[in-house]
Structure formats: C-alpha cells, structure tokens
Amino acid sequence: MSVDQHVENTSAWAPFRHSAFAVLWMATVISNIGTWMHDVASGWLMTSLSPSPLMVALVQAATSAPVFLFALAAGALADLAGRRKLLITVMVLLFFNTLALAGLVFTDRVTPWTLLLFTFLSGTGAAFVAPAWQAIVPQLVPRADLQSAIALNGVGINISRAIGPALAGAIIAAIGIAWPYLINAVSFLVVIAALVWWHPPPSPPSDLPAERFFSAMRAGLRYVRASLAMRATLIRAVAFFLFVSAFWALLPLVARQELNGGPQLYGIILAAVGVGAVVGALFLPRLARKFGPDQLVALGTLGTALVLIVLALVKRADAAIFASLLAGACWITVLSRLNISAQLALPDWVRARGLSIFITIFFGSMTLGSILWGQVATSIGIPFTQLVAAAGALIAALLSWRFRLLQGDELNHSPSSYWPQPVVASDVSLDRGPVMVTVEYRIDPDNIQEFVAAICELKASRQRHGAYAWGLFEDVADPGRMLEYFIEDSWVAHLRHHRRTSVLDSEIQQRVLRFQANGSAPRVTHYLAPDPLRPASDQAVVDDHSLR
C-alpha cells in the first residue's frame, strides 16, 4: 500500500489507541512547550544583551550546530545502547543544564557568550535525543499506524509552537525573562516520568556481539550513501532548509526592529507559525490525495518564499502574523514529507543512524543558513536579505526537482533469512578480516548488457549492508562467465549482512539470478585475509557453495 493510500484508509487519530504512544506524545507536547518558551526567551534576551543581527542569529546557530556535529554519533549510540535508556539519561542532564541557566538569569549574571554556551549545551542534548526519539516511534504503534504517528508527532510539535511562544511572551512581560527557563526545566521531569513508565518490547536475542561504536557509525554512513531514496531525501532537505533558515534566524529582529514590537508580538508571531502548522497538518491527508509528495514540497517552498517577501516589504504586525500562519502550514507540509520519505527508506537495524544523518543535514543547513543570513543582514539589511533568501529557495527547488521523494514507499525492509549461514572449514575469529566474497555467474552472452544493468542494483544492496569495495569482471577466455566480488570489514560484519538481508534484497537478487544460464546456481566463495598469528595450515578456512 502506498503512503497516499494509507493516509486515505487509516484514521489520523488511530495511534492514540495505543497507550504508550498517547502518554509519550502528551509528555513530549508538554516538554516542547517548555522548549519553545526557552527558545523565545533566549532569542529575546539576546536582543537585549547584544542587538547585533549576527549575535541574534548565533542563538539559532548555537541551537542547531550541536545537532549537526553530534547527531550521527547519537544515532549510533541509540542503535547500540538502547533508545529508552539514552533518552532518560540525556533528559536528566538537560534538566540540570536548564536549571543552571535559569539561576544565572534570575541573578542577572548572564552574558551574551554565557547564553550562547548554555544554548549550545541544550542543543547538544537535543542532538542525542532526536535520533533516538524518532527511532522509537515504530515501537509505539503497529506498522499500519506508523504514518499517522509520524504526522501526529508533527502536530504535537506545532501545538507546542502555538502555545509555547505566546505563553513565553506573556510570562516575560508579566513576571520576567527568567521564568521560561525554570518552566522548561520542570517540563523535562514530565518526559523522564513518561519514559520510566514505558517499557518497550525486548529486542530479539542475537548470538553475535554488539557492534562497536565507530563500526556502527561507518555502517550507517555506508547505508545512506548507497540508498538512492535517502540521497534524494537529503538533497531535497538541503535545498529547502538552507534558505528557510532566514525566516527563523531573523524573526526576533523582524519583531523588534522592523515592526517595533515587544516580546508579546514576537510570541504571537511564533504562535501563529504553530497554529498554521497544526491547521496545515489537519489538511495534509486531503492534500496528499490530490498532490504527490514532490508537488507538496514545491507548494510549501513557494509559500515560504512568499512569506519572506511579505515580511520584507510589508511593515505591519497583522501582515506578519498572517504570513506566519502560512509559514507554519508550509513548514509542516515540507517537513512531514521529508521525514516520512526518510523513515520509509530505512530498515529498523539502521533506523536511528539513518535518521541521525537526516537530522544532521537538517540542522547543518539551518546552522549554516542562520550564520549566513545573519552576516548578510548585517551587511545589506534585513529586508533585502529576506528577498535574496526567497529567490534562493525557489531556484534551489527547481534545481533539486529531479530528486524524487518517497522512493522507499514500496520497499520491504523485513528480514528475509534468504541467505544461508556460510559453512566454514574450521572456527573463524569474528574480528578477522577483511572478507572478500566472490559470486560466479554463467550468463548467456546475448543477455550480458541486461545482466550488468540488473547487477548494478545488487551492487547498491551490497554497499548498503557494509561492502566498501565491489567489482564485476568477465572471463576473456570464457564469454558469459562473470565474476562479482565485494569486500567487507570483518567476518562478524559479513555475518550481520546475512542476518540483515531483507525481502527487498532478496527481490533484487532474484532479478539478477533470472539471467543465470541453465537454471544453475551461482557459485559463492568466501575468502579471509591471512592472519600472520595463525599457523599456515589454518589459513584457508573459507567455504565454497552455491547460492540459490
């Protein structure tokens, strides 16, 4: 079933039937309200401590830069160490970090650089939370409700965006700018309690040792690099976020300098973004039945460019509020399509690592864009900078149009157990390597061109599972005798490849095997690099068997 068919046939509220999703969703909404209050207070506080456009933009950069720097490591850690345990640990650290910042603001001891430091530490916590949090969604609901759960998470974020900024503006004006930080610290306790209450299903047992940290990071990078669906998603993400970051980075200055407003106006504008996003999310299922994901992203980009143009040319608070409603609807439209495209491209074993790369690209683009547009605004002014960013967003959308989204819609990542365990002549140390696997095919010479085209897809499958070298050769003395080889880091890495072979991989391999002459099976041989510490008689511990 395609994503659009799923949206049509499944209730958008179905995930709330599952208590774990409902409890964690509510806790996240409460925490995100606190986070938005924190972000509004930091942006507004910096306009008082240092009103330079660059310094104000650096608040956004300090929030997003840690995610760019640490998200990949966080994704590997989430896949290895247990996502629930990691989330609880990081939430406790964020509680103490935010409580300390609240104390500095209460006592009037905060400086611009102190604020940036604590903002960076909060961003570091977010970097370790984001991949694990997104990766647990399939554990909270059955696969049939996964798309609705992803959409509801977006709705929750934007409900928080609608409430948090307006509440922060009112609290700052009424009782002081330190209180949003204290409220945010308390909100982390709500999430910690929900995570302590939740008990995820146990992971299936494995007789293989856990992956090592850096090996796991390499595996995640290799998978994403070899996945056409993920590469297309990441390119479209850069094309959008790099230019949309101008809206977020300059918004505090638009409210304060361009519109001569106070914290209440800034909070209302951000709340309008959240309201627009919630309304947009409610209409998304209907829009998804009329437009494909690429058309929706194009419409979202066009709408965001229009928002930037309105903010640049119309100096009225009501116009800014209405433009922000449109900005929120466009933001949730694009972000939800990109997020779903990334989720569908990834199997569970690499989900947190793959999503961490998506998040890295997201926040890296936002960080680079925030610094870039802050510097440009310092040189040429805020309105002209917004016009340049709007033009850039439209041009980038056109240039990236050929990279289609949701290419993983029909992909089946379920384990297939298609490959038999390799048979060896004697015990092999798991960390021995590298391992070279050869597959010998017999192809009708008239079908070689079609065979080569099919095996290129198999090449990508091998690389997604860890092969760092791959090649295909033809025997010049025996036309039609083709030899494929691929190399992996170690024997245990190759055994994991066997365990992780999916239905998708088996389908790709079957398309290649259709070219095998006379219905015979290709011959598969495994080779290990010599181990200088082992006796010569024990070196050739490899198998030689047929693949069917």
Distance (Å, rounded) from C-alpha 149 to C-alpha 317?
35
- pLDDT computed for residue 298 by the predictor: 92
Helix (H) or strand (E) holding 83: helix 83-106
- pLDDT computed for residue 290 by the predictor: 85
Q: Where are the alpha helices (DSSP H) in 176-227?
A: 179-197, 213-226
A 10 A CB-CB count for 84 gives 17
- pLDDT computed for residue 27 by the predictor: 92
How does 256-283 read in b/e, with b if 16+ C-beta sit within 10 Å? bebbebebbbbbbbbbbbbbbbbbbbee
Find out whether 522 and 516 touch, Cβ atoms under 8 Å.
yes
Distance (Å, rounded) from C-alpha 399 to C-alpha 396?
5
Over the stretch 175-186, which tens digit does the pLDDT of each residue have?
Answer: 888 899 999 999
Token code pair at residue 408:
């993983």
- pLDDT computed for residue 149 by the predictor: 80
Location of structure tokens 């016009």: 387
Distance (Å, rounded) from C-alpha 276 to C-alpha 306?
15
Distance (Å, rounded) from C-alpha 66 to C-alpha 119?
10
Over the stretch 20-43, which tens digit does the pLDDT of each residue have?
Answer: 899 999 999 998 899 888 888 887
How does 24-36 read in b/e, with b if 16+ C-beta sit within 10 Å? bbebbbbbbbbbb
Domains observed in the chain:
3-399 (1.20.1250.20), 435-546 (3.30.70.100)
Helix or strand or coil: residue 68? helix
pTM: 0.75
The string of DSSP letters for 489-546 reads: S-HHHHHHHHHH-BHHHHHHHHHHHTTBGGGPPPEEEEEE---TTS-GGGS----EEE
Find out whether 347 and 500 touch, Cβ atoms under 8 Å.
yes
In the beta sheet, which residues pair with residue 482? 441, 474
pLDDT along the chain (548 residues), means of 10: 47 81 91 87 80 73 78 82 86 93 89 88 87 82 75 78 79 87 92 91 69 82 89 92 88 83 79 82 78 89 93 88 90 86 84 85 83 86 90 93 77 70 70 87 88 88 89 89 91 84 83 82 85 53 48
Distances in Å between the Cα of 288 and the Cα atoms of 225, 292, 330 are 28, 6, 14
- pLDDT computed for residue 303 by the predictor: 93
Residues 6+ apart with CB under 8 A from 529: 432, 433, 434, 435, 436
